[in-house]
Structure 1
Amino acid sequence: MEGYVHRVPVDDFQRVKVGEVLVEIEDDDYRARVAQAEVDLLSGQAAIENLKARKEAQHAQVAEAQDATTATQADLERTRLEAVRQRTLLATTFGTRQLVEHADTAAQRFAATFARNQAALEAQHREMAVLDTQELQLRADAKAKQAALDLAKINLVYTRITAPAGGEVSERDVRAGQYVHAGTQVIAFVRTMSGWSRTTRRPS
């Protein structure tokens, strides 16, 4: 990360406490990135909720198509059995050609209806599969957006460089208005309460 120094609230060779702010980077852009990442995440979550509502409606469509197919299948079996019965009766004195033709017509009609209902049911199942795939993609997108938000928040935190321990800083290496980037030395600890020294640089 990079940016312009907003302020350096410590003096040269000042003693500082752990967590005390040493350098602040202008954070307007980083706050904007956090805000945009939050909007993106909310948008992704809303898309998932919208898809869940569509899936609920699709479940109802599948159930309706299944009921229609089941009912038509029962009618088809009934009319086929009736057609067989009428043909059997035709071989005796109890049947007529007209009744056989009527039974055959009914069986054919329900066979056609059953085929249409089966095709409709398969189409509803395919649509559900499409929605399932879309949900997986949306959830993956939302996960990526959450990661982007987490990173944006981390980068925002990095705009405030704080003392890692109590101690004393050296002469400041940067001033307000100066542009810094990852690896730029901004200030150094020349002595800490535990006796060690370290250089504070811009985080990457």
Structure 2
Amino acid sequence: MRIFRSLGTYVALFVGAAGVLLALYAWRLPPFASSVERTNDAYVRGQVTTIAPQLAGIVAEVAVQDYESVAEGQLIARIDDRIFAQRVAQARASLAGQKAALANSQQQRRSSVAKIAANEAAVKSAESAFETAAANLARIQPLARQGYVPGSDLDVATRQNNQASAALDQAKAQLEVSRQDLQTVIVNRQTLEAAVDNAEAAVNLAEIDLANTRILAPKAGHLGEVGVKLGQYVQAGTQLTSLVPDVAWVVANFKETQLAGMQVGQPVRFLVDAFGGLEMTGHIERFAPATGSEFSVLRPDNATGNFTKVAQRVPVRIRIDPGQPHMADLAPGLSVVVLVDTASAPDAAAVAAR
């Protein structure tokens, strides 16, 4: 009886010690403390781009299929471009008309300059005629007062002088009119030049719209599900498909209590669930400027009600080391388990390459 009692005591002590050791291991307390921090709140990320048209129209061609690999600039879909091609032709015709009007303005300017020259010559001729009539009147007036010439000659000379003066005034007025006409042509030319610039901009816009009927891959990568169908009417911004470029990284959400000792450039190991726990390597590239809760739509307000402290998580971006097997198979959204040895020294090359 005493033996069984002793055996039960030993079992109880063993169970108690095992429980204590298990708790110490779970909380990573001595003697199980480790410099390796681990999290399974980590995922592969990538630049997933939504492909959408900038124009509305009927889809005339779908050149790709689901999950297809595409090169930069490869055609994904094409919108019926007949209307947009006619708009380009219309804009070019309008531009040609504005350029013709501008050329006509140049011709009008040359004509106005020629008229000014002709009117300046007419003014000189009128001035000469007026000087002749005035001189003739000046000779006849004293002779008429002395009775050497009849009064009719004085009247004729006076009328000729008045006519020459009026002709001179008319010539000067015509010269001023021609100068104002030239100024009008110059001012109108500025308006026509602006109209030509506007027509050229309209041509450029029409050509951009025509080019946008071809929806192209902005960069190389793999497509998601292609949701557009031949003959479908799409609006500007309608999602046609998604493009996933061949560039991936890992975002690990560590608790704030795990960040002590982590530095940019430290080596990282991560296990990819989709590859049966295949181990891959990388380096810490940067830390998020705030915890995940600060970026959430509904931020918590700890100033109200009862408060329970909850360890926050900080996203850590990890650059995947190149040249590893299955790199091309890493798809955004895959789950991974990340391990960081906070006692390891940062890689200087990784720090410089971030």
- Higher RCO (Cα < 8 Å, 6 or more apart): 1
- The DSSP-based 3-state class of the residue aligned with 2:222 is strand
Q: Residue 167 of structure 2 aligns to which amino acid in structure 1?
A: T
**Other-structure match for 2:259:** none
Equivalents in 1 of 2:65, 2:237: separation in Å? 22
**Other-structure match for 1:84:** 138
**Other-structure match for 1:193:** 246
Unaligned runs of 5+ in 1: 198-204
Equivalents in 2 of 1:136, 1:122: separation in Å? 22
**Please, which of 45, 52, 57 is the counterpart of residue 3 of structure 1?**
57
**Other-structure match for 2:43:** none
- The DSSP-based 3-state class of the residue aligned with 2:103 is helix
**Other-structure match for 1:183:** 237
Segment of structure 1 superposing worse, 173-182 or 99-108: 99-108
Equivalents in 2 of 1:195, 1:143: separation in Å? 46
**Please, which of 207, 218, 223 is the counterpart of residue 169 of structure 1?**
223
- The DSSP-based 3-state class of the residue aligned with 2:248 is coil
**Other-structure match for 1:35:** 89
Segment of structure 1 superposing worse, 4-13 or 43-52: 43-52
Equivalents in 1 of 2:132, 2:167: separation in Å? 14
Q: Equivalent residues in 2 for 1:28-107 (5 A)?
A: 28-87=82-141, 96=149, 98=151, 100-107=154-161
Q: CA deviation at 1:82?
A: 4.1
- The DSSP-based 3-state class of the residue aligned with 1:185 is coil
Q: Provide the aligned length of Structure 1 versus Structure 2.
A: 195
Q: CA deviation at 1:176?
A: 1.2
Q: CA deviation at 1:54?
A: 2.6
Q: CA deviation at 1:50?
A: 2.0
Segment of structure 1 superposing worse, 59-68 or 5-14: 59-68
**Other-structure match for 2:283:** none
Q: Equivalent residues in 2 for 1:102-141 (5 A)?
A: 102-141=156-195
- The DSSP-based 3-state class of the residue aligned with 1:23 is strand
Q: CA deviation at 1:80?
A: 2.3
Segment of structure 1 superposing worse, 5-14 or 134-143: 134-143
**Other-structure match for 2:73:** 19
Greater gyration radius: 2
Residues 165, 195 of structure 1: alpha-carbon distance in 2 compared, 3 angstrom cutoff: farther
Equivalents in 2 of 1:152, 1:42: separation in Å? 15
- 1:11-57, CA deviations, whole angstroms, 9 ceiling, x for partnerless residues? 10000111101111111111110011011101111121122223222
**Other-structure match for 1:201:** none
Unaligned runs of 5+ in 2: 1-54, 250-330, 332-354
Equivalents in 2 of 1:155, 1:181: separation in Å? 14
Q: CA deviation at 1:85?
A: 4.6
TM normalised by structure 1 equals: 0.84
Equivalents in 1 of 2:218, 2:246: separation in Å? 11
Q: Residue 177 of structure 2 aligns to which amino acid in structure 1?
A: A
- The DSSP-based 3-state class of the residue aligned with 1:177 is coil
Alignment root-mean-square deviation, CA: 2.4
- 1:129-172, CA deviations, whole angstroms, 9 ceiling, x for partnerless residues? 33233322222111111110000011111111111111100001
Equivalents in 1 of 2:240, 2:138: separation in Å? 95
Bigger strand fraction:
2
Bigger helix fraction:
1
TM normalised by structure 2 equals: 0.50
Q: CA deviation at 1:92?
A: 7.4
**Please, which of 199, 211, 214 is the counterpart of residue 160 of structure 1?**
214
Equivalents in 2 of 1:195, 1:107: separation in Å? 99
